[in-house]
Structure 1
């Protein structure tokens, strides 16, 4: 975004924090898309079983489309994050006095809250995925039908637990980043911990791939 708009580059902590929040937004959006694609995939199976072929076809295309879009979004988020950080590194330095500005502390808090929101979203996605599979199992028991492939129930429950674990890890990483950020701001020098965000981006990308492969296996 910075390059496309040809904006002036400065090593301002507020700009660094804005880039970080944008990246977290991309991550949350991509995981939301893929989680919803999982639900659509399961609904597609139910639609097929009940003979709603037209609905099934629509759900299948929507699920695959959302999955592809989710993987693209997290990849695009990583790309823009790396590009914008590199662009900022070529900018002018700011004085330590500007870094210790109260607005920087508030920007750090907003970024931490973005981590928290992302973590909560992941945990909620994980619980919903797991409980949705519980609903499918109960549906099978009540109507004496079989929905999905053998072993798919255990797979989806495992995916739900995996997403919850990623959510908890997100919260811990956000807390660590916030603690380090405050220490940096206190001494009047701040730079984005690129290694931390790239590591987290790799984790999110892997999670998206797992969900994407699972969605494809449903069809």
Structure 2
């Protein structure tokens, strides 16, 4: 919907849920980009300590290119989601028979699974980020090189894990409420859940940005 607003729209449950899945994909991609940037920053420290200046410079640049554009895009994508949501709500309502439909239930399941995949992906990546320092410490011992990672890196993986857990919780609540509404023959977007998720998402992004500024090589 971000690029196709010239198309007609209706207040159809599957369209709302498709919008959710699309933007969850955007958010997952952007946070994985930030996480990859954080790992690149650690690799830059490693290669500089090993006196591979070219590789150190490469990973430093990669850190900047992956992290900051993704952080900025999270804000853009969040507001675009709200804009697309309002655009769909301008469409015509659908009949009850279009709501109580097996395809709507299956769409709700797919949407819930999208929340779960995003949550698990963020949690897994959070563990990778947290344990990457341990890996580098062990590697530095093997190479007889002292690495100073800095205290600022500590806790960044926890931020990803918290966001992943948030996805699982909000996705579960969203699924239960959606099925309940569909059973009743009505469907309304869960603006409160969207708003809550948006506040948490943007707050976590701001925290990550502050932490990244602190550890920028």
Higher relative contact order (CA 8 A, sep 6+): 1
Q: Deviations over 1:148-186 (max 9, x none)?
A: 35424xx42x22223223212211111111000000111
Give yes or no for contact 1:8–1:91 (8 Å, CA) kept in 2.
Answer: yes
Alignment RMSD (CA, Å): 1.8
CA shift, 1:188, in A, is 1.3
Q: CA separation in 2, counterparts of 1:62 and 1:13? A: 40
Shift of 1:144: 4.4
State TM-score, norm by structure 1: 0.90
Distance 1:200 1:57, change over 3 A: same
Q: Where in structure 2 are the equivalents of 1:96-175 lying within 5 Å?
A: 96-152=96-152, 155-156=153-154, 158-175=155-172
Count of aligned pairs between the two proteins: 216
* 1:218 matched to 2:201: no
The alpha carbon displacement at 1:194 in A equals: 2.2
Instruction: Give 5+ residue unaligned stretches, structure 2.
Output: none
| Distance 1:38-1:77 versus aligned 2 partners, 3 A rule | same
**Could you state the TM-score of these two structures normalised by the residue count of structure 2?**
0.91
Partner residue of 2:49?
A: 49
Distance 2:61 2:195 in 1: 31
Q: Kindly report structure 1 stretches of 4+ aligned residues shifted beyond 6 Å.
A: none
Query: What SS is found at the alignment partner of 2:58?
Result: helix
- The match for 2:206 is 209
Secondary structure at 1:47's aligned position in 2?
Answer: helix
Structure 1 residue runs without a partner (length 5+)? none
C-alpha contact (below 8 Å) 1:118/1:167 kept by paired residues: yes
